[in-house]
Structure 1
Amino acid sequence: MRMLWDPLFERLSDVAGAPPDQIKMIAALVLAFPLAAIFVRLPANRPNLAHIFSLIVTTFFLWPFLGLGWGYLELIFSCVVTYVLVATLKGSNMPWVVFFFVMGHLTITHVRRAIWAVPVTEIEISGSHMVLVMKLSTFAWNVHDGRRKTEELDNMQLATRLSSLPNPLAFFGYCFYFPTVLVGPSFDYASYDALIKHTLYTTPPPNAKSKISGRTPVGRRRVALLHFAIGIFFLAIFSLLGARGSFERVLTPTWYTWGKAQQFGFIQFCAFVARTKYYAVWSMSEGACIQSGLGFNGYDPKTGRTLWNRVRNINILAIETSESFKVLLDSWNCRTNVWLRECVYKRLAKKGQKPGSFQSMATFVTSAFWHGVAPGYYLAFITCGLYSYLGRMFRNMVRPYFLPASSPGAANSLPRWPYPNLAKRAYDLVGWACVQTGVAYAVVPFFVLELKPSVLTWARVYFYGHVSIFAAVAFFKFGGSRWLRKGLAPKAPRVKPLSPADAPSVSVQPPSPLAETYERFGEDESAATSGVATPSNFVSEADEADDANIEWVAHDLQNKDQKDFSKMSDEILSGFDTPRRPGTPTQRKTQ
């Protein structure tokens, strides 16, 4: 059905050189920003108003605006069945029943898209369906955790458990929360409920430099605008370079007119351009979440400033500067990593046992099926898995040679200051180059999708990624590991211990935003969730508007975001870890 605004977007499409569907998608993400500013002002004593507001906006986005009416009905069907299953099934298998139902429904959507040969440039319902699957399966596990004994739960499960089933309107408001309905990120129901009831904003600690305003802590609008501006910046890059930096150009006759260095550089260029599309839409979506208040994640214990990374889905700086595949994978699509860890990886382990190889493989398979049925996804995931496995081997056997001595009694403690030394800097530089060139090779099938074009594209760059992987693995397997282990001292050298002033700081973001709040300030759950800022802690909206301090923006950019919850890739690969030298202490983890 042709709508009134369609001619406008067709004209914009001619000017921008992009399909009308993509122009509409960007317009919806932009429109979500001012709507989120209205959403955050809805009164806490009228939660149904917030649910209805979100549902109305989502309905407009998916039905008349993007023309995805039938797909929207499928999403509603999936939500209704999930709610009925959660309400009626009381056994321990309930979350798995929901999981297989929503994943099966999503697979049907992916298969239908493949059969109908829907082009990648066309916006259809599968993206929203993927986000919904994460929300619905997470919701089922949260309800299940609410029926279990608290001593059986970890910190994350305690923070997100639901002791009672929300009413249908609240449940649908959570499922179709409009800033995330198109491209994510996903999050748990407890965060949504705290946002609606305005209990998300706890009383600031004594050292807080940013107090709570009449509705939200100060800094929300500045950080939201920052992420919106980042999204627009990368959107502009993709608009200018998207056609020029397409992997499809590798398969054209022009490819053979380029030199080897130019061909190699073009693959790196294409990978960067492809990333900018995700940088753009995820940054804009996160900006709308922060504008609505959902991004609030407590206060920095060192600076006292507000943190707005509760639903952070991407760390652009970490991706572009990552020196290992672990860091890169941890910084990409972070909320999907959380979902895979909390709903698959940890849940498959038997009580009292740690997850192993079976749980690792099941998590990789789930991730692949969640993305789609195109062969390119599986080629890309397998290649990234091989790179990650190789990265662990280097981290265990090669990296120690470039580290200075550690403090006594803790073989894997932080090295003595100054750090890093010249050797470690050189190692990191080589690691960065290997990661960037490796990921550019690995993601080719992710964007090409079809089997034959993907393999042909790899062939035209001489399979340099797989050649390097198998050469390195062969080195480790045929004597390299033994030779490297001999050079590692069995005991740490006796050196002067670090004083607290000498030790570099380590910033770790906790796995659960809610649990973080309780632990950081010594509060129990009831105090943290029910604590309302006292009148002395409030500042007016006028005070916030007049404050020209932009330190919140700088603080957000400087936040390294070393997320404990995003150690999923390292944990999943632990089943394939290289064997340690006998008697070597296990690595100490920062908690």
Structure 2
Amino acid sequence: MAAAEGGTGLMWSGLSLAKAAEALGSSEQALRLILSIFLGYPLALFQRYVLFQKEIYLIHLYDTITGLSIAYFNFGLQFFHSLLCVFIQFLILRLMGRTVTAVCTTFCFQMAYLMAGYYFTATEHYDIKWTMPHCVLTLKLIGLAMDYYDGGKDMESLSPDQQRYAVRGVPTLLEVSGFSYFYGAFMVGPQFPMGQYHKLVRGELTDVPGQRPNSFVPALNRLFLGLFFLALFTVASLYVSDEYLVSDNYLEQPFWFRCLYILVWGKVILYKYVTCWLVMEGVCILTGLGYNGKDENGKPKWDACANMKVWLFETTPFFTGTIASFNINTNAWVARYFFKRLKFLGNKLLSQGLSLLFLAVWHGLHCGYLVCFQMEFLIVLVERQLINLARDSPPLSALASVTVLRPLFYVLQQTVHLMFMGYSLVPFCLFTWEKWIKVYSSIYFLGHVLYFSLLFVLPYVRRVLVPRREKLKKAE
């Protein structure tokens, strides 16, 4: 009888959420995700005021139970996927030790499990399902295996980054679980290493040793900033949507309107990611996980878990600036555990290309991800050539230094930047070939035509505009 009543309660809870989501014009899964993200604040307050500098096993247990509860709330019994991968990862560390075999086994198993999840759950739309937090978990567990491997090496043979993140002790199952399920990062990130998590549970991540961190105000700042972007996205999405982008009405509009719509859509669509990361960053700051030491003036920094540099994201006219300001911790993870470890290839461009290929596959099996990151690689390559050309060419350098013209140049740069940022996001957000090829065809593959043309033309332009002495000076 009690079980029946409990089942009825869950059913009514689901119905209530479904009705609330319908009233808000959202899906039930999206509402569950939002509630889970904001739930991090009361959970962080409890950890901050009740568990600070208490027995470490209690904090691991708390993080594990709360993270599993969030997983169950969002995905039901499918939470077992993450539980299985965490347990197997613990066995790999214990049975294989600090070996290359353990690292390779971890990489192959965790990535294969994620790919299988993508394959069996794939649809033509962006769905909030168990693979969403699992992709975050996959990077976390692979990074743990690499840090554990580095922990067995001589310190002098490691790079400064490797020395900083190397795991010297042997993690227990409870440690690995708490690290994996920490409620402030389980659903949407950010990425952080096991060493940082150890400092958190030991109460070391504080600007006042032995006392709770003075992180309440910085955490609220990120929360309110996240709420601002949530409101911005909510209002803007009433007028800009994926559905309109693939509609016949969009195709009937003039060419200039189709380009302008992609520009605005690309900017708006990113605000949902900005919202999630800012809100979760606030949770991490509240617990102390966001503590990043002090600056030269002795002021505490709270950006260890920052996934966004908001001012740079909003103002940069460069594609490289957007990359540097967006999804920072994931990019740092790829740089630390993938890009830098490909140094043996002896080719920076090849390492960068392989890193972007890994990111594309990690995001999912849809061809749109590959097209998006291919376009990112191409645009960054051309943008760097253009920046070098403007710097090395005397006439272009003189023109760029004219104060009166700088606002005009900024507007032009920003327009091009936003247009082709949106252009790159089209396959990323629309996934399937039929959808994104329809949009690209409507603007005649403008981005591909422009940037591939520039890639081949710029070397010849450089020969004309850059004097020989400048080339020789650069070579020296």
Normalised TM-score (structure 2): 0.91
Distance change >3 Å, CA 486–CA 247, structure 1 → 2: farther
1:180-228 Cα deviation digits (max 9, x unpaired) = 11111111000000011012236xxxxxxxx668311x2x111111111
Which SS does the other structure have where 2:343 is aligned? coil
Among 88, 105, 111, the alignment partner of 2:113 is 105
Deviation at 1:368, TM superposition (A): 0.8
2:449 pairs with 1:441:
no
- Structure with the higher fraction of residues in helix conformation: 2
Distance change >3 Å, CA 159–CA 247, structure 1 → 2: same
1:51 corresponds in structure 2 to: 60
Cα distance in 2 for residues equivalent to 1:159 and 1:256: 53
After superposition, residues 320-399 of structure 1 pair within 5 angstroms as: 320-350=314-344, 356-399=348-391
Letter in 2 for 1:393: Q
2:131 pairs with 1:126:
yes
| Contact preservation (8 Å) 2:392, 2:466 | no
Cα distance in 1 for residues equivalent to 2:89 and 2:451: 43
1:172 corresponds in structure 2 to: 177
Cα distance in 2 for residues equivalent to 1:34 and 1:162: 30
2:71 corresponds in structure 1 to: 62
2:452 pairs with 1:470:
yes
1:235 corresponds in structure 2 to: 230
* RMSD over aligned Cα atoms: 2.4
Cα distance in 2 for residues equivalent to 1:7 and 1:165: 45
Letter in 2 for 1:375: C
Q: Which runs of 5+ in 1 are unaligned?
A: 203-210, 405-418, 491-580, 587-591
Deviation at 1:256, TM superposition (A): 4.5
Cα distance in 2 for residues equivalent to 1:343 and 1:261: 42
1:346-369 Cα deviation digits (max 9, x unpaired) = 22323xx75534422321221111
Cα distance in 1 for residues equivalent to 2:156 and 2:174: 31
After superposition, residues 304-315 of structure 1 pair within 5 angstroms as: 304-315=298-309
Letter in 2 for 1:399: R
| Contact preservation (8 Å) 2:75, 2:130 | no
Among 240, 249, 257, the alignment partner of 1:254 is 249
Distance change >3 Å, CA 110–CA 243, structure 1 → 2: farther
Deviation at 1:176, TM superposition (A): 0.6
| Contact preservation (8 Å) 1:250, 1:460 | no
2:135 pairs with 1:143:
no
Deviates more, 1:182-191 or 1:333-342: 333-342
Which SS does the other structure have where 2:341 is aligned? coil
Letter in 2 for 1:75: S
Letter in 2 for 1:139: L
2:4 corresponds in structure 1 to: none
1:458 corresponds in structure 2 to: 440
Normalised TM-score (structure 1): 0.74
1:486 corresponds in structure 2 to: 467
1:102-159 Cα deviation digits (max 9, x unpaired) = 1111111111122xx2742x32111111110111011111111111111111111111
2:83 corresponds in structure 1 to: 76
1:215-256 Cα deviation digits (max 9, x unpaired) = 11x2x1111111111222222222233253113313322225
Cα distance in 1 for residues equivalent to 2:91 and 2:397: 55
Deviates more, 1:2-11 or 1:446-455: 2-11
Bigger relative CO (Cα 8 Å, ≥ 6 apart): 1
Distance change >3 Å, CA 119–CA 433, structure 1 → 2: closer
2:162 corresponds in structure 1 to: 157
Cα distance in 2 for residues equivalent to 1:94 and 1:347: 16
Cα distance in 2 for residues equivalent to 1:314 and 1:373: 26
1:23-53 Cα deviation digits (max 9, x unpaired) = 1110111111121111123132411111111
Q: How many residues align?
A: 464
2:31 pairs with 1:23:
yes
| Contact preservation (8 Å) 1:161, 1:190 | yes
Cα distance in 2 for residues equivalent to 1:317 and 1:295: 19
Letter in 2 for 1:85: I
2:93 pairs with 1:86:
yes
Distance change >3 Å, CA 278–CA 258, structure 1 → 2: same
Letter in 1 for 2:239: R
| Contact preservation (8 Å) 1:375, 1:451 | yes
Cα distance in 1 for residues equivalent to 2:251 and 2:397: 43
Letter in 1 for 2:90: Y
| Contact preservation (8 Å) 1:398, 1:484 | no
Cα distance in 2 for residues equivalent to 1:431 and 1:341: 27
Distance change >3 Å, CA 250–CA 201, structure 1 → 2: closer
2:474 corresponds in structure 1 to: 584
1:29-80 Cα deviation digits (max 9, x unpaired) = 11111211111231324111111111121121111x213322x211111112
Deviation at 1:317, TM superposition (A): 2.1
| Contact preservation (8 Å) 1:102, 1:137 | yes
Cα distance in 2 for residues equivalent to 1:460 and 1:360: 31
Letter in 2 for 1:310: A
Among 283, 290, 297, the alignment partner of 2:292 is 297
1:543 corresponds in structure 2 to: none
1:294-337 Cα deviation digits (max 9, x unpaired) = 111111214x3221100111222212211222111121111111
Among 207, 212, 215, the alignment partner of 1:215 is 212
Which SS does the other structure have where 2:150 is aligned? helix
Cα distance in 1 for residues equivalent to 2:177 and 2:74: 20
Which SS does the other structure have where 1:285 is aligned? helix
Cα distance in 2 for residues equivalent to 1:458 and 1:357: 27
Distance change >3 Å, CA 393–CA 299, structure 1 → 2: same
Deviation at 1:96, TM superposition (A): 2.3
Cα distance in 2 for residues equivalent to 1:360 and 1:336: 15
Cα distance in 2 for residues equivalent to 1:84 and 1:136: 12
Cα distance in 1 for residues equivalent to 2:172 and 2:465: 60
Cα distance in 1 for residues equivalent to 2:134 and 2:283: 20
Deviation at 1:484, TM superposition (A): 2.9
Cα distance in 1 for residues equivalent to 2:303 and 2:257: 39
Cα distance in 1 for residues equivalent to 2:411 and 2:330: 29
Deviates more, 1:252-261 or 1:11-20: 252-261
| Contact preservation (8 Å) 1:322, 1:328 | yes
Letter in 2 for 1:359: S
Deviation at 1:86, TM superposition (A): 1.8
Distance change >3 Å, CA 468–CA 66, structure 1 → 2: same
Letter in 1 for 2:474: T
1:206 corresponds in structure 2 to: none
1:266 corresponds in structure 2 to: 261
| Contact preservation (8 Å) 2:390, 2:397 | no
| Contact preservation (8 Å) 1:325, 1:388 | yes
Deviation at 1:290, TM superposition (A): 0.8
